[in-house]
Amino acid sequence: MTNPYAISDDTPVYVISVAAELSGMHPQTLRHYDRQGLVSPGRSAGRGRGRRYSLRDVLVLREVQRLSQAGISLPGIKRIMELEGELDQYRAALAEMAAEMAQLRTELESTRAVAARLAGLLRSRGTGGTLVPVRDARTGGPVTGPAAAAPEPPPAARESRPAAREPGPDLPAAGTAGDPPAEAG
């Protein structure tokens, strides 16, 4: 549950006279900067709908004043601020991608470790061993006994018979309503 009385740096709380005093400017200058699109204060509810400035707006006004005193025109200041906004977006995207790359590197190293372990198991068992347990289609359990060691049929035999598929989410089990009707022969 969040605090309904919490105020962030983006909460518009200052009326124009207070924001002007905090930024060291005249209220009319703030109105002009609003019309120019250099700062976009919130609006209060109600009939007057007066401007309400946030702490972040006051900081932007101070930056506008600093750049203006350095001899930069208002259109130039606006462009600088747009570019700084884009730069902040690119930095955030870059940080997000760097975090994702770090996670993928960790996953890759984990996968490599599993692959190395499986390769070691395969080498230790020699030929003919299976790494993945095989399920018996009739019982659903692991294959045991002589069927477990049955050799794989030659490729020609595998091609001539249809591939057997186990029931799954996309294939119903035998004897269910999803089976095609048996042909009378």
Share of the chain above pLDDT 90, in %: 45
The pLDDT tens digits for 19-63 are 999 999 999 999 999 998 899 888 877 666 788 999 999 999 999
> Cα–Cα distances in Å, from 59 out to 12, 20, 54, 82?
13, 11, 9, 15
Going from the C-alpha of 176 to that of each of 167, 171, 173, the distances in angstroms are 11, 10, 6
DSSP conformation letters of 112-174: HHHHHHHHHHHHHH-TT--SSPPBPTTTSSB--GGGGGPPPPPHHHHHHSPPP---BTTBPPT
Q: How confident is the model at residue 135 (pLDDT cuts 50, 70, 90)?
A: low
CA distances 78 to 6, 38, 91, 129, Å, are 31, 6, 20, 70
In this model, does residue 82 exceed pLDDT 80? yes
User: What pLDDT is attached to residue 28?
Assistant: 95
> What is the C-alpha end-to-end distance of the chain, expressed in Å?
70
Listed in sequence order, the residues at least 6 apart from 84 whose beta carbon sits closer than 8 Å to its beta carbon are none
Q: What pLDDT, on a 0 to 100 scale, did the predictor assign at position 25?
A: 92
| Residue-level pLDDT at 147 | 47
51: helix, coil or strand? strand
| C-alpha closest to that of 130 among 157, 110, 151 | 151
Distance CA 129, CA 141 (A): 18
pLDDT at 164 over 70: no
Instruction: Indicate the average pLDDT of the chain.
Output: 78
3-state secondary structure of 69: helix
Q: How many Å apart are CA 58 and CA 19, to the nearest integer?
A: 6
Could you tell me if 77 and 66 are in contact, meaning their C-beta atoms sit under 8 angstroms apart?
Answer: no
pTM for the full model? 0.52
**CA distances to 20, 64, 117 from 38, in Å:** 14, 8, 60
pLDDT, tens digit (0-9, with 9 covering 90-100), for 83-125: 999 999 999 999 999 999 999 999 999 999 999 999 888 888 8
